[in-house]
């Protein structure tokens, strides 16, 4: 079936279907498919004049873990070119295998459900490095950046690196979000670049603590595409450059009304108070009516985060939405199992549907994957257990799923702070 097709099916029948096999060890890419991957990757990276700057890479031989930031599909192509002529294996979300599982596995991909702990993944990464002797590409943020800035990283990264005992290289793309922002997938004609840096060598893994490893990784994963745009005088002249920006910037900074922001061409405005901003060719915002609250898009975005955090701390955050529920059991595609309700609050996520009742506590999700107009199905969130992945589409499409992004992260941080405080009190 096509990914855009909506196929209705009873949940019992879907649960009885053959499932994704999450235990298969990654394959070393067949030589002719690896050649094809290079052929497909290299032309596009040259088309965007991608300049790959390598730091501290001298003397690095053999395989390593490659940690990449995630702004668009261009990330994969630049990383493939950067490691040339070495081969890679790739951790890919389960929806990347729809209608092409055999091909994906034969080019070195192995699957993961987003934001779900899975001990099998450790064995698969080890197999990639030791048996396949390939570079293992990991996108630890596990979702595309919403406004070209870094997202939370899993706390297990340092432990993973310590366990693997292989060098760690970071790959930070610059301008990939600008070229094709998550909120508007039309491609812009701009030049991009990337920084490839060995941040931990093999000898340091022995001496560094897990916390020190985590600190190095987090420091490497600080980036801001809009700052990069301004600092490098990158002009984006496309008329549609702000179209879709209301999806991440859903809260008006003037009247504080939620979900009334709209955008078209180079403008974003609030339907409640009519305050209107224009995005210039350098990605800066200015209010055509008067005071500019935010000229830098990530600043507006992070201000929204603070408002959600405030709502949580005041005990006011409690969301329940009617949703359409899709399941993804295997590579044949999505099956709509009906309607349900998703509730999110200080207790975590609670999904209810026909023969379906799933609760995920706050501490089980450091992040949530959201989608904007996913294959014409609308805006939604991806919600996984160890056995299944669900895609939830609110009936009220005015509600911005971006708020789930903030709330999930902030609730997790609060819960982690409580745990740390309790641990310190016991000492």
Question: Residue 66 above 90 pLDDT?
Answer: yes
pLDDT number for residue 421: 74
Q: Quick one: pLDDT band at residue 383, thresholds 50, 70, 90?
A: confident
Q: Quick one: pLDDT band at residue 427, thresholds 50, 70, 90?
A: low
For the segment 73-111, what is each residue's pLDDT rounded down to a tens digit?
Answer: 889 889 988 998 889 999 999 999 999 999 899 999 999
Q: What is the mean pLDDT of residues 368-395?
A: 94
* Three-state SS at 56: coil
Specify whether the CB–CB gap between 390 and 338 falls below 8 A.
no
The dihedral formed by the CA atoms of 217, 368, 365 and 123, expressed in degrees to the nearest 10: -60
Distance (Å, rounded) from C-alpha 248 to C-alpha 144? 12
Q: Quick one: pLDDT band at residue 5, thresholds 50, 70, 90?
A: confident
Specify whether the CB–CB gap between 52 and 150 falls below 8 A.
no
Question: Residue 207 above 70 pLDDT?
Answer: yes
Q: What is the mean pLDDT of residues 140-162?
A: 93
Find the angle CA(248)-CA(250)-CA(255) to the nearest 5 degrees. Answer: 145
Q: What is the mean pLDDT of residues 121-146?
A: 95
Say which residues have a Cβ less than 8 Å from residue 11's Cβ, sequence separation at least 6.
327, 337, 338, 353, 354, 355, 356
User: Which 8-state DSSP code applies to residue 272?
Assistant: T
Q: Quick one: pLDDT band at residue 47, thresholds 50, 70, 90?
A: confident
pLDDT above 70 covers what percent of the chain?
Answer: 99
Task: Give which of 128, 135, 140 is closest to 68, Cα–Cα.
Answer: 140
Instruction: Give backbone dihedrals phi and psi of 291, rounded to 5 degrees, phi first.
Output: -65, 130
DSSP per-residue letters across 92-149: EEGGGGTTTHHHHHHTTEEEE-TT---HHHHHHHHHHHHTS--EEEE-TT-S--SSSB
* Bridge partners (DSSP) listed for residue 384: 389
What domains sit in the chain, N to C, each tagged with a CATH number?
Answer: 22-231 (3.40.1130.10), 261-313 (no CATH), 319-426 (2.30.29.30)
Q: What is the mean pLDDT of residues 356-366?
A: 93
Q: Quick one: pLDDT band at residue 2, thresholds 50, 70, 90?
A: confident
Q: Quick one: pLDDT band at residue 422, thresholds 50, 70, 90?
A: confident
- Residue 386 tokens read as 């160890």
Question: Residue 40 above 80 pLDDT?
Answer: no
For the segment 228-239, what is each residue's pLDDT rounded down to a tens digit?
Answer: 999 999 999 999
Question: Residue 146 above 90 pLDDT?
Answer: yes
Distance (Å, rounded) from C-alpha 407 to C-alpha 415? 12
Q: What is the mean pLDDT of residues 159-171?
A: 96
Q: Considering all CA atoms of the chain, what is the largest pairwise distance in Å, rounded to the nearest integer?
A: 62
**Mean residue pLDDT across the chain:** 93
Q: Quick one: pLDDT band at residue 145, thresholds 50, 70, 90?
A: very high
Q: Quick one: pLDDT band at residue 217, thresholds 50, 70, 90?
A: very high
Q: Measured in Å, how far apart are the chain's first and last C-alpha atoms?
A: 57
DSSP per-residue letters across 147-158: SSB-----TTHH
Instruction: Give backbone dihedrals phi and psi of 4, rounded to 5 degrees, phi first.
Output: -80, -15
Q: What is the mean pLDDT of residues 375-398?
A: 94
pTM of the model: 0.94
Helix-strand-coil percent breakdown of the chain, rounded to 5? 30, 25, 40
Task: Give which of 152, 159, 158 is closest to 213, Cα–Cα.
Answer: 158
* Bridge partners (DSSP) listed for residue 173: 194
- Residue 156 tokens read as 């297990």
Preceding peptide of 85 cis, ω within 30°: yes
More confident residue, 122 or 43: 122
Q: What is the mean pLDDT of residues 188-208?
A: 94
* Three-state SS at 24: coil
Cα 193 versus chain centre, distance: 20
* Bridge partners (DSSP) listed for residue 90: 109, 137
Q: In 10 A of CB 183, how many CB atoms?
A: 20
Specify whether the CB–CB gap between 400 and 247 falls below 8 A.
yes
Question: Residue 46 above 90 pLDDT?
Answer: no
Question: Residue 260 above 70 pLDDT?
Answer: yes
pLDDT number for residue 414: 94
Say which residues have a Cβ less than 8 Å from residue 91's Cβ, sequence separation at least 6.
109, 110, 111, 112, 121, 125, 136, 137, 138, 139
Question: Residue 388 above 80 pLDDT?
Answer: yes
Find the angle CA(75)-CA(80)-CA(85) to the nearest 5 degrees. Answer: 160
């Amino acid at each position: 079936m096509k990914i855009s097709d909506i196929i209705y099916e009873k949940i019992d029948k879907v649960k009885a279907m053959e499932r994704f096999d999450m235990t298969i060890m990654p394959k070393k890419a067949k030589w002719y498919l690896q050649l094809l991957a290079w052929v497909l990757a290299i032309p596009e990276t040259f088309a965007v004049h991608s300049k790959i700057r390598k730091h501290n890479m001298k003397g690095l031989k053999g395989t390593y873990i490659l940690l990449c930031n995630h702004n668009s599909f261009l990330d994969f192509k630049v990383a493939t070119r950067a490691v040339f002529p070495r081969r890679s294996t790739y951790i890919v979300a389960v929806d990347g295998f729809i209608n092409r599982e055999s091909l994906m596995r034969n080019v070195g991909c192995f699957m993961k459900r987003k934001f779900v702990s899975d001990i099998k993944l450790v064995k698969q990464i080890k197999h990639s490095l030791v048996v396949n002797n390939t570079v293992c590409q990991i996108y630890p943020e596990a979702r595309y950046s919403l406004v070209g800035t870094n997202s939370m990283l899993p706390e297990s990264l340092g432990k993973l690196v310590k366990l693997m005992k292989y060098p760690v290289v970071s790959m930070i793309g610059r301008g990939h979000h600008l070229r094709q922002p998550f909120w508007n997938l039309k491609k812009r004609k701009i030049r991009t670049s990337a920084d490839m840096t060995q941040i931990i060598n093999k000898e340091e893994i022995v001496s560094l603590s897990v916390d020190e490893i985590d600190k190095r990784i987090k420091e490497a994963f600080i980036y801001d595409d809009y700052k990069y745009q301004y600092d490098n005088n990158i002009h984006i002249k496309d008329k549609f450059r702000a179209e879709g920006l209301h999806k991440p910037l859903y809260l008006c900074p003037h009247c504080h009304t939620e979900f009334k922001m709209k955008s078209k061409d180079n403008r974003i405005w609030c339907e409640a108070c009519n305050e209107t901003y224009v995005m210039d060719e350098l990605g800066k915002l200015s209010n055509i009516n008067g005071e500019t609250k935010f000229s830098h898009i990530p600043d507006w975005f992070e201000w929204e985060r603070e408002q959600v955090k405030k709502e949580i701390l005041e005990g006011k955050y409690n969301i329940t939405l009617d949703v359409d529920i899709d399941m993804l059991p295997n590579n044949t595609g999505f099956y709509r199992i009906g309607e349900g309700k998703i509730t999110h609050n200080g207790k975590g996520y609670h999904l209810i549907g026909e023969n379906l009742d799933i609760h995920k506590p706050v501490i089980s999700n450091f992040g949530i994957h959201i989608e904007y107009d996913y294959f014409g199905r609308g805006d939604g969130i991806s919600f996984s257990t160890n056995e299944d992945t669900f895609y939830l589409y609110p009936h009220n499409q005015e509600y911005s799923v971006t708020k789930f992004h903030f709330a999930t992260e902030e609730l997790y941080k609060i819960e982690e702070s409580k745990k740390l405080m309790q641990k310190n009190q016991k000492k």
